[in-house]
Amino acid sequence: MSKPQGSNVKERAKSALKDEFLIDAVKFTTEKLKNGKKAATEEHGNWEEWRERGRLIRAHTISHLDYYLSKFIENARAQGVHVHFAPEAKDAARIAIEIAKHRGAKSVVKSKSMVSEEVHINEAFEELGIESIESDLGEYIIQLANEPPSHIIIPAIHKNRYQIADLLSKEAGETLPPETKILAGFARRKLRDKFLEADIGLTGCNFGIAETGSVVIFENEGNARMVSTVPKTQITLMGMERLIPSWDDLEVMATLLPRSATGQKLTVYMSGITGPRREHDGDGPEEMHIIIVDNGRSLQLGDPEFQELLNCIRCGACLNACPVYRHIGGHSYPGTYSGPIGAVLTPALNKNTQEWHDVANASSLCGACYEACPVKIPLHDMLVYLRNRKVERGYTASGEKMAMKGFKMLMGSHKLFRKAVKAGQIGQKLLVRDGYIRSQIGPLKGWTAYRHIPALPKRSFREQWPGLSAEIEKSIQPMSGEMELRMEEIVQARRKGGGHA
């Protein structure tokens, strides 16, 4: 898949920022999603109580994951599901391929699944000559463009209608006008045939319900319903942490997820699929497989600093809230997941300490991600842990070590932080050579908000900097007392050498 060129976040962001539309589209859409969430949560009311309940349910499930996962497996099997285990990404692909080969499958039709991106399932099928088609409109578009998704909820957030018209016109063999209705209509017709032909339907899974062994999928288009209704065989890829204990708990997730993702009260479709079709049902898969994927998730278990990562319900709210994501877009992050959750999850899943350096810095520590998160994952704390671990393990320039020492002072004072940002702004001007930021000197080296502003070509830098810096400053909210306290605790714990490797 082609991503913007460049080996680290800074370079990728640089290339991403050259695409003017990307900047506008990402800002426009994230703003809209953010406002939608705000309106929906205010209308619903008592949001903090709901968040806390969501956090408790997820935290409880994860801390008894061995029990709930076993229950889920037992109940799914009782309904006739074939359950498989993939400790690593490659195992998931291997199992899916084994099933597809045995079924003599020629084509697979897919609904949205971030796990399938993790395990590169399309590539695996295609190597065997099995056609694998994305059916979510956004996923279909980026599949035609041969790009990975740049947002968890809106995968083609970075494409405008002209680019989409070009991509679909190639598929259609005729020129389609850049009109949403017509483009969507073409995709509907084209994909309808694919649904009817496909041998295998491949889905993701938002939640697995332990008490009944059900797979729950949230969506708006109806493509996941198609994928789980028409093909004779269904394969569901499920991250091992996707569980909730009961249908009662689903009410809480259904209250939190759509509102946080798009501001909807509920997605148009929420489907609970429990085993293959019953004996005399006329539709639904005759055979159903669930592949449960670890791929680095279990490494977070028992790690007090990162276990909460597994509570994530993949709503994308932290992306929409993040001033850095809004500026550089999803392709600037390495790996499948972008934004604040991606910045922490990617290195955590990979246990790749060197990469931590790169992605952990791609955020501003402003705490907006935590405020946005419907299950209260302290992503900004985790970013601090990541930076600290990196410092401890010596994967960092000495400047960063100094920056970490200055952390407490700066973080303790919002005013100081803002000042520092301003200082950074002045500092950066000195650094632009040949149109790019060459090296970083100055007071905020390593980890401040400004660091994440990618280096830009000279002209564009000069043009954009005033706007960028104003926007970022605006986005930096004063820290809440609670958050400040936690930051303080982290620093104290670190001083005492209380690390968990």
Residues near ligand SF4, by CB under 6 A? 312-318, 341, 372-375, 377, 379
Shorter beta-carbon distance to ligand SF4: residue 258 or 275: 258
Shorter beta-carbon distance to another protein: residue 210 or 491: 210
Site for another protein contains 362 (CB under 8 A): no
Edge-to-edge strand list for the sheet holding 82-86: 82-86, 287-293, 233-239, 200-203, 107-110, 131-134
**What is the C-alpha to C-alpha distance for residues 239 and 291, in angstroms, rounded to an integer?**
8
Shorter beta-carbon distance to ligand SF4: residue 312 or 420: 312
The residues in 403-462 that bind another protein, with binding defined as CB under 8 A, are none
Judged by CB under 8 A, which stretch of 118-126, 267-275, 352-360, 474-482 contacts another protein? 267-275
Shorter beta-carbon distance to ligand SF4: residue 58 or 389: 58
Q: C-alpha angle with apex 22: 16 to 25, nearest 5 degrees?
A: 155
The three-state (H, E, C) secondary structure of 348-410, written as one string: HHHCCHHHHHHHHCCCCCCCHHHHHCCCCCCHHHHHHHHHHHHHHCCCCCHHHHHHHHHHHHH
Site for another protein contains 155 (CB under 8 A): yes
Cβ of residue 476: shortest distance to ligand SF4, in angstroms?
Answer: 18
Site for another protein contains 35 (CB under 8 A): no
Query: Which of another protein, ligand SF4, none sits in contact with 83, Cβ below 5 to 8 A by type?
Result: another protein
Cβ of residue 312: shortest distance to ligand SF4, in angstroms?
Answer: 3
Cβ of residue 222: shortest distance to ligand SF4, in angstroms?
Answer: 23
The one among 37, 225, 357, 389 contacting another protein by CB under 8 A: 225
Cβ of residue 429: shortest distance to another protein, in angstroms?
Answer: 35
Judged by CB under 8 A, which stretch of 6-14, 115-123, 176-184, 424-432 contacts another protein? 176-184
The one among 57, 257, 345, 420 contacting another protein by CB under 8 A: 57
Phi-psi region of 179 (alpha: psi -120 to 50; beta: other; left: phi over 0): beta
- List the structure tokens of 56: 């408790």
The one among 156, 312, 321, 328 contacting another protein by CB under 8 A: 156
- List the structure tokens of 167: 């991509």
Shorter beta-carbon distance to ligand SF4: residue 183 or 375: 375
- List the structure tokens of 410: 């700066």
Phi and psi at residue 481, to the nearest 5°: -60, -40
Q: C-alpha angle with apex 372: 371 to 377, nearest 5 degrees?
A: 75
Query: Which of ligand SF4, another protein, none sits in contact with 496, Cβ below 5 to 8 A by type?
Result: none
Site for another protein contains 323 (CB under 8 A): no
The one among 254, 343, 437, 487 contacting another protein by CB under 8 A: 254
Task: Enumerate the H helices of 157-294 as residue ranges.
Answer: 161-172, 180-197, 223-227, 247-261
Shorter beta-carbon distance to ligand SF4: residue 19 or 249: 249
Phi and psi at residue 234, to the nearest 5°: -115, 130
For another protein (CB under 8 A), the number of binding residues is 108
Count Cβ neighbours within 10 Å for each residue of 39-68 and write b for 16 or more, e otherwise.
ebbeeeeebeebbebbbebbbebbeebeeb
Query: Which of ligand SF4, another protein, none sits in contact with 138, Cβ below 5 to 8 A by type?
Result: another protein
Judged by CB under 8 A, which stretch of 121-129, 222-230, 385-393, 414-422 contacts another protein? 222-230
DSSP single-letter state for residue 175: P
Report whether 374 contacts 54 (CB < 8 A): yes
Query: Which of another protein, ligand SF4, none sits in contact with 377, Cβ below 5 to 8 A by type?
Result: ligand SF4
Cβ of residue 270: shortest distance to ligand SF4, in angstroms?
Answer: 17
Query: Which of another protein, ligand SF4, none sits in contact with 317, Cβ below 5 to 8 A by type?
Result: ligand SF4
Residue type, 201: G
Query: Which of ligand SF4, another protein, none sits in contact with 318, Cβ below 5 to 8 A by type?
Result: ligand SF4
**What is the C-alpha to C-alpha distance for residues 375 and 206, in angstroms, rounded to an integer?**
14
Query: Which of ligand SF4, another protein, none sits in contact with 192, Cβ below 5 to 8 A by type?
Result: another protein
Count Cβ neighbours within 10 Å for each residue of 105-121 and write b for 16 or more, e otherwise.
bebbbbbbbebbbbbbb
Cβ of residue 325: shortest distance to ligand SF4, in angstroms?
Answer: 10
**What is the C-alpha to C-alpha distance for residues 9 and 379, in angstroms, rounded to an integer?**
18
* Strand (E) or helix (H) holding 234: strand 233-239
Cβ of residue 242: shortest distance to ligand SF4, in angstroms?
Answer: 12
Site for another protein contains 298 (CB under 8 A): yes
Q: List, in order, residues 6 or more apart from 109 with CB less than 8 Å away.
A: 133, 135, 191, 194, 195, 198, 200, 201, 202, 226, 227, 231
